[in-house]
Structure 1
Amino acid sequence: MRVPARDLTDDDHELIAYARRIVDAQTDGENGVHTMGAAVRAADGAMYGGINVHHFLGGPCAELVALGHARASGARQLSTIVAVGNCGRGPVGPCGRDRQVLFDYHPGIRVILPTPDGIRSVRITDLMPLASVWTPEGGTQPYDVSVFGQD
């Protein structure tokens, strides 16, 4: 299955650079606990960053830290997110847990990640085929074609 992707915009490149600055400034090396940086853009254009906190018990990924930073700063509507690795690694796609959180809380968000055609932006809904929406009020909801559209 081929996921619809779009070329990066100037805003996307700016977001990648912001995440890169975070991880470059805060990493503690290849074997450290801070090896991924993330940045999220709010609908108003503001950017918020985060860095992972690796721990053998799990620890939050950089994307989740960036989401928390945005929310704590008052951002409710988010448009785009990216994570980049330290030591010169480029954008990295979100793990399954991050994808589910993004899908549940920000179903309209775009994710910048590597694709077969290079670094592109894709909708989170395209990364979660046949997913079910979860809400704090209603729990897991049945699959809804209106969220995903039809072929």
Structure 2
Amino acid sequence: MTTSSPKTGPTATATTTTHLDPELFDLCVRAFAGVPVADDNHTVAAAVRSRRTGETVVALNVYHFTGGPCAELCAFGAAAARGVLPTDVETIIAVCRRQKEQQQQQQLQKGPWDGAGDGDVVFRVINPCGRCAQTMLDYNPEIGVIVMDRHGREVKTRARDLVAYPSVWEDGNTGREEKRKALEAGRTGEE
């Protein structure tokens, strides 16, 4: 059972729905432990897992009317600070937190919402926005992205499949080759 505080919301997690990646989903839910439920500036958490080490990193969005970064981009930055570069990310997931009444009014998408705390807070996987999808495509087209399909089910797809008509560099790639060369040069000590 999830415990909660009226000021911060859930402090632990127990999901009522089976998730595609329960570890990453729960990591996102726990990231909200110190954030008051009424805080509208941090409503989405994203978690990534390293392909190489299995390490997981989570971050919250930073909403601002000027276009603050989404949780997915914050997670990439937090992961990079720990040595997990986007080319090493195996999986990413984004989970939003809503007050149940807000979710019911907005009818955002079909799909499972997990109750938490006293039943006033719900969590669910949300799909990346266009900017995040393009960033994932540019950083690493092979990243596994957990999304909600049109039937409200969690599915895992690749970043390359998120954007129907992606913007690609003039030479036809997404920057992957340049990033690969830069990483190889860094690993071998070459300039």
TM-score range, shorter chain: 0.7 to 0.9
Residue among 52, 57, 61 paired with 2:66:
57
The Cα shift of 1:38 comes to: 0.8
SS at match of 2:45: strand
1:83 paired with 2:94, answer: yes
The Cα shift of 1:128 comes to: 1.7
SS at match of 2:123: coil
Residue among 100, 104, 107 paired with 2:134:
100
- The CA RMSD over aligned residues, in Å, is 1.9
**1:5-61 deviations in Å (ceiling 9; x for gaps):** xxx75xx221111111113x1433255201111101111210011001111111011
The verdict on how the C-alpha distance between 1:80 and 1:42 changes in structure 2, with shifts beyond 3 A counting, is: same
1:48 counterpart letter in structure 2: V
Separation in structure 2 between the aligned mates of residue 16 and residue 141 of structure 1, nearest angstrom: 37
Match of 2:161 in 1: 126
**1:59-114 deviations in Å (ceiling 9; x for gaps):** 01111110000111101210110110113121000000000111101211011111
1:69 paired with 2:98, answer: no
Higher relative contact order (CA 8 A, sep 6+): 1
Separation in structure 1 between the aligned mates of residue 167 and residue 171 of structure 2, nearest angstrom: 6
Match of 1:141 in 2: 170
Match of 1:136 in 2: none
Match of 1:29 in 2: 37
**TM score, norm. by length of structure 1:** 0.77
SS at match of 2:134: helix
SS at match of 2:48: strand
Match of 2:47 in 1: 39
SS at match of 2:84: coil
2:24 counterpart letter in structure 1: L
Cα pair 1:131 1:143 within 8 Å, conserved: no
Cα pair 2:45 2:71 within 8 Å, conserved: yes
The verdict on how the C-alpha distance between 1:26 and 1:115 changes in structure 2, with shifts beyond 3 A counting, is: farther
SS at match of 2:63: coil
Cα pair 1:132 1:141 within 8 Å, conserved: no
Structure 1 gap segments, 5+ residues each = 1-7, 134-139
**TM score, norm. by length of structure 2:** 0.62
SS at match of 1:14: helix
Task: Quote the sequence identity (%).
Answer: 37
Query: Which deviates more from structure 2 when the two are superposed, residues 83-92 or residues 28-37?
Result: 28-37
Q: For the pair shown, which has the larger CA radius of gyration, 1 or 2?
A: 2
Cα pair 2:29 2:123 within 8 Å, conserved: no
Aligned residues: 129
Query: Which deviates more from structure 2 when the two are superposed, residues 66-75 or residues 85-94?
Result: 85-94
